[in-house]
């Protein structure tokens, strides 16, 4: 059984991104810049943005953190986004979610220039992904694909079951894996909270990707022997420990490979954000 080491894979990608950023600086005197907008005082968001800023610094990317009060309204955010869109020194824009109540997340995310939308949330970028000609790939789904490919796991011809249908993870990762070409060519099935006989379908998966946000939701009887399991969930148990959406201890004995939580998909999300920021600067 193979433990898929996201920390190691992310470090490889971050080293590659740092080399690309250095080359861009040397050849064209361009230093990639990521502007992160943080509204309010959500503790988790504070940590996420801090981690992203530290990762940017290590990769040779300028990190511009813009902190706004909890009372910020949608119109103020839209004015800021317009300013960042027009700023030629800013290559990537990230709006840290969730936004406080009273802020229209959809309207704010849609206002980001698609060419600076390094989260790939804009409907234009989502549409390009669905057509197999992406400008940017969303960070967590791209990290999942990189983890599979760099761990030597074959995707082409495999039956991938995606448990979860969010716009951030479930839908885009399925769309990416069903495309023609390298790192794809899978047969993809989506399952979710309204799927009947859920376990019958998850047991068909050669590769099971789980992103439902429920601690230890996937149990051993839901997984085929020898399957590959990617656990995207991050949950905190009653005793304060972090766990995924998969019952890791129960499932690991029957699978061929599994990503742990923590240390699996999580580190790759930031690595792919850095990758997108450098790509935006090149573009």
Active site residues per annotation: 52, 96, 119
Spatial CA neighbour of 206 closest among 182, 234, 185: 185
End-to-end CA distance of the chain: 41
Q: Report how many helices (DSSP H) and strands (DSSP E) the chain contains, helices first.
A: 10, 11
What span, in angstroms and rounded, lies between the C-alpha atoms of 45 and 49? 6
What span, in angstroms and rounded, lies between the C-alpha atoms of 172 and 126? 8
Distances from the Cα of 157 to the Cα of 22, 54, 134, 197, angstroms? 38, 39, 22, 24
Spatial CA neighbour of 88 closest among 38, 36, 33: 33
Take residue 186 and report the two structure tokens written for it.
């899978």
Take residue 59 and report the two structure tokens written for it.
């990769």
- For 213, the 3-state DSSP assignment is coil
Spatial CA neighbour of 14 closest among 280, 273, 283, 279: 273
Q: How many CA atoms lie within 13 A of 192 on its CB side?
A: 9
What span, in angstroms and rounded, lies between the C-alpha atoms of 267 and 283? 25
Ramachandran category for residue 43: left, alpha or beta (phi over 0 → left; psi -120 to 50 → alpha)? alpha
Spatial CA neighbour of 92 closest among 128, 56, 124: 56
């Amino acid at each position: 059984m193979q433990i898929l080491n996201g920390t190691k894979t992310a470090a490889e990608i971050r080293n590659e991104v740092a080399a690309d950023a250095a080359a861009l600086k040397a050849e064209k005197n361009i230093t990639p810049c990521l502007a992160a907008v943080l509204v309010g005082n959500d503790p988790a968001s504070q940590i996420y943005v801090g981690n992203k800023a530290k990762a940017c610094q290590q990769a040779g990317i300028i990190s511009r953190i813009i902190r706004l009060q909890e009372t910020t309204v949608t119109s103020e955010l839209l004015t800021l986004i317009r300013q960042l869109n027009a700023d030629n020194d800013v290559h990537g824009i990230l709006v840290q979610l969730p936004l406080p109540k009273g802020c229209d997340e959809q309207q704010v995310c849609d206002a980001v220039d698609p060419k600076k939308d390094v989260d790939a949330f804009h409907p234009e970028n989502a549409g390009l992904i669905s057509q197999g000609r992406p400008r940017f790939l969303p960070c967590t789904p791209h990290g999942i694909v990189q983890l599979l490919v760099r761990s030597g796991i074959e995707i082409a011809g495999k039956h991938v079951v995606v448990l979860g249908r969010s716009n951030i993870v479930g839908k885009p990762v399925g769309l990416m894996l069903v495309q023609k070409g390298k790192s794809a060519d899978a047969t993809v099935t989506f399952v979710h909270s309204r799927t009947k006989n859920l376990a019958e379908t998850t047991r068909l998966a050669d590769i099971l990707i789980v992103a439902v946000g429920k601690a230890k939701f996937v149990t051993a009887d839901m997984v085929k022997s020898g399957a590959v399991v990617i656990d995207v969930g991050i949950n905190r148990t009653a005793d304060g420990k972090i766990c995924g959406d998969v019952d890791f201890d129960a499932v690991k004995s029957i699978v061929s490979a599994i990503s742990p939580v923590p240390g699996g998909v999580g580190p790759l999300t930031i690595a792919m954000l850095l990758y997108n920021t450098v790509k935006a600067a090149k573009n």
